[in-house]
């Protein structure tokens, strides 16, 4: 299968090239040139299949031509070392819990898959040069990528994060690992971290010495595997007899997660409608209303993994629907919530149902309360464990949040990071000396 750029300014790439490059040379996002429709027989018996079995079949549709089945199945099964249960919150609203992985956020799925696929391509190419993955993070991406790549042969990871601007629990998730993971604590903002990474990719000397790549969410190997759990959620709802008219609400920032759901739908998964749930960064909602896409600087909210002012996967959504505003409007509706509304939702849902949402999942929940029509059942994607936002959630509910054991284990680790100024020369000197 070949992968074309959404900007159509370069020739299509092989899967290996698309995964190693991440972004196309014309700055477009890679798209698979075909999206296979899975046969009816697959959907007829999907409720009898496990998540890994479903995922192997879906993965084959995208990657089957490029990776032998045994290798691909191994990548998929290694990735899915945890479950993605759908849990009842009310009769009409169910929660797809994507936080049972190593770092307690949905990004574990994409990061683990990408690490294994990149490792596979590097081994196959016989490349002796190690590959260095550079990743800038405001919290969740760094932890998922660092843990996803931990111990993968032939790959080093350098995580850059802004000093004092990530929560302690997030910081521990990528500064305590050792092995092939190095954390760099930058005296600056997230934007500074991103600038250092981008400048490094353009630096001739660094690129002559190292094979540099990124692991951000635009990479096809991080983005496509996210479709697996939409199929599995459907299978679970079918077992409950509730799969007739399913509406899926996705708390969205860069729109990678929801786009993977739209791909699943294109492959034949019977989802009635999608809801993009946003915080006050509502650029996409404005687009749905006006047909005009106007990026703007992000604003800080308590659902901070969705503080995105120019969602990178918007290009993929547009491409998937041939640029048609009408088509996009009929497939997706949007909702947006203020911090006060998010807090009110967390409090009220906990009081009335006993279910604790995180600030991102709360946007999804509320959008279903407001957006579900007669006869529909809603599934929200609970994208992170509430303990990842412990301080915020405890302040809202006034009750202590239980921390899962796998998160507690990180807290016991010893922080190790390299202090760095925000000047590129310092960062370059550090990389060259490695």
State whether the Cα torsion 380-383-387-390 is positive or negative: negative
Q: What does the block give as tokens for 353?
A: 């149902």
Which of 188, 251, 334, 386 is in the footprint of ligand PLP by CB under 6 A? 251
Strands 13-14 and 2-5: antiparallel
Residue 340: which residues within 8 A CB-CB, separation 6 or more? none
Q: Which of the ranges 7-15, 195-203, 251-259, 371-379 carries the binding residues for ligand PLP, by CB under 6 A?
A: 251-259
Binders in 116-135 for ligand PLP, by CB under 6 A? none
C-alpha separations of 173 from 84, 95, 102, 142, 165 in Å: 21, 25, 9, 8, 14
| 196: phi then psi, degrees, rounded to nearest 5 | -60, -45
**Does 140 sit near ligand PLP (CB under 6 A)?**
yes
| 300: phi then psi, degrees, rounded to nearest 5 | -75, 135
**Does 107 sit near ligand PLP (CB under 6 A)?**
yes
Do 142 and 161 contact (CB within 8 A), yes or no? Answer: yes
Binding mask 354-393 for ligand PLP (x = CB under 6 A): ------x----------------------xx---------
- 293 closest CA partner among 314, 322, 324: 314
Do 117 and 74 contact (CB within 8 A), yes or no? Answer: no
Would you say 273 or 360 has its CB closer to ligand PLP? 360
**Does 101 sit near ligand PLP (CB under 6 A)?**
no
107 is catalytic: yes
Q: Give the number of residues in contact with ligand PLP, rule: CB under 6 A.
A: 16
State whether the Cα torsion 386-389-390-392 is positive or negative: negative
Would you say 131 or 306 has its CB closer to ligand PLP? 306
Q: Which of the ranges 31-39, 185-193, 254-262, 339-347 carries the binding residues for ligand PLP, by CB under 6 A?
A: 254-262
Would you say 58 or 305 has its CB closer to ligand PLP? 305
Smallest separation (angstroms) from ligand PLP to the CB of 217: 6
**Does 253 sit near ligand PLP (CB under 6 A)?**
yes
What is the distance between the alpha carbons of residues 19 and 158, in angstroms, rounded to a whole number? Answer: 18
Q: Which of the ranges 150-158, 205-213, 248-256, 338-346 carries the binding residues for ligand PLP, by CB under 6 A?
A: 248-256
Choice among 107, 163, 388, 390 that is catalytic: 107
Smallest separation (angstroms) from ligand PLP to the CB of 73: 25
Smallest separation (angstroms) from ligand PLP to the CB of 141: 7
- 261 closest CA partner among 381, 373, 95: 381
- The number of C-alpha atoms within 13 Å of 46 and in the hemisphere containing its C-beta is 30
- Name the residue with tokens 């994507």: 98
**Does 306 sit near ligand PLP (CB under 6 A)?**
yes
CA 402 to chain centre: 24
Binders in 184-223 for ligand PLP, by CB under 6 A? 217
- Name the residue with tokens 């050792």: 178
Smallest separation (angstroms) from ligand PLP to the CB of 305: 3
Would you say 140 or 232 has its CB closer to ligand PLP? 140
**Does 298 sit near ligand PLP (CB under 6 A)?**
no
Q: Which helix (H) or strand (E) holds 271?
A: none
Q: What does the block give as tokens for 361?
A: 């999942």
Which of 305, 342, 372, 379 is in the footprint of ligand PLP by CB under 6 A? 305
Q: Which of the ranges 205-213, 255-263, 291-299, 408-416 carries the binding residues for ligand PLP, by CB under 6 A?
A: 255-263
Strands 30-32 and 2-5: antiparallel
Residue 410: which residues within 8 A CB-CB, separation 6 or more? 169, 172, 173, 176
Q: Which of the ranges 253-261, 314-322, 337-345, 422-430 carries the binding residues for ligand PLP, by CB under 6 A?
A: 253-261
Smallest separation (angstroms) from ligand PLP to the CB of 253: 3
**Does 257 sit near ligand PLP (CB under 6 A)?**
yes
Active site residues: 107
Binding site for ligand PLP (CB under 6 A): 105, 107, 140, 217, 251-257, 305-306, 360, 383-384
């Amino acid at each position: 299968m070949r992968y074309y750029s959404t900007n159509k300014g370069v020739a299509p790439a092989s899967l290996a090239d698309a995964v190693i490059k991440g972004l196309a040379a014309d700055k477009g996002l890679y798209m698979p040139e075909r999206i296979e429709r899975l046969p009816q027989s697959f959907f007829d018996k999907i409720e009898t299949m496990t998540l890994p079995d479903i995922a192997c079949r879906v993965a084959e549709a995208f990657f089957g031509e490029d990776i032998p089945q045994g290798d691909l199945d191994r990548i998929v099964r290694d990735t899915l070392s945890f479950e993605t249960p759908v849990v009842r919150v009310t009769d009409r609203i169910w929660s797809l819990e994507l936080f049972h992985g190593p770092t307690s956020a949905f990004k574990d799925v994409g990061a683990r898959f990408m690490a294994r696929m990149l490792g596979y391509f590097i081994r196959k190419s016989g490349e002796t040069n190690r590959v260095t993955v550079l990743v800038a993070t405001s919290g969740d991406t760094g932890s998922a990528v660092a843990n996803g790549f931990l111990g993968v042969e032939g790959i080093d990871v350098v995580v850059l994060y802004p000093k004092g601007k990530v929560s302690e629990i997030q910081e521990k998730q990528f500064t305590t690992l050792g092995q092939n993971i190095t954390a760099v604590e930058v005296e600056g903002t997230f934007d500074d971290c991103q600038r250092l990474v981008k400048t490094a990719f353009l630096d001739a000397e660094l690129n002559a010495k190292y094979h540099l790549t990124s692991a951000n969410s635009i990479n096809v190997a991080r983005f496509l595997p996210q479709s697996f759990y939409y199929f599995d959620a459907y299978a679970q709802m079918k077992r409950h007899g509730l799969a007739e008219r399913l509406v899926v609400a996705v708390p969205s920032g860069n729109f990678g997660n929801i786009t993977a759901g739209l791909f699943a739908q294109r492959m034949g998964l019977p989802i009635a409608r999608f809801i993009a749930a946003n915080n006050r960064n509502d650029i996409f909602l404005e687009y749905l209303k006006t047909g005009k896409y106007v990026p703007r600087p992000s604003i800080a909210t308590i659902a901070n993994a969705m503080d995105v002012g120019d969602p990178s996967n918007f290009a993929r959504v547009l491409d998937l629907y041939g640029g048609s505003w009408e088509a996009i409007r009929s497939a997706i509706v949007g909702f947006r919530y203020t911090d006060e509304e998010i807090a009110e939702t967390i409090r009220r849902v906990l009081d009335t149902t006993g279910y604790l949402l995180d600030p991102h999942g709360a946007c999804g929940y509320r959008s279903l309360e407001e957006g579900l029509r007669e006869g529909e059942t809603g599934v929200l994607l609970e994208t992170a464990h509430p303990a990842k936002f412990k301080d915020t959630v405890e302040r809202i509910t006034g009750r202590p949040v239980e921390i899962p054991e796998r998160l507690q284990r990180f807290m016991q680790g010893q922080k190790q990071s390299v202090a760095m100024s925000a000047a590129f020369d310092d960062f370059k000197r550090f990389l060259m000396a490695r």
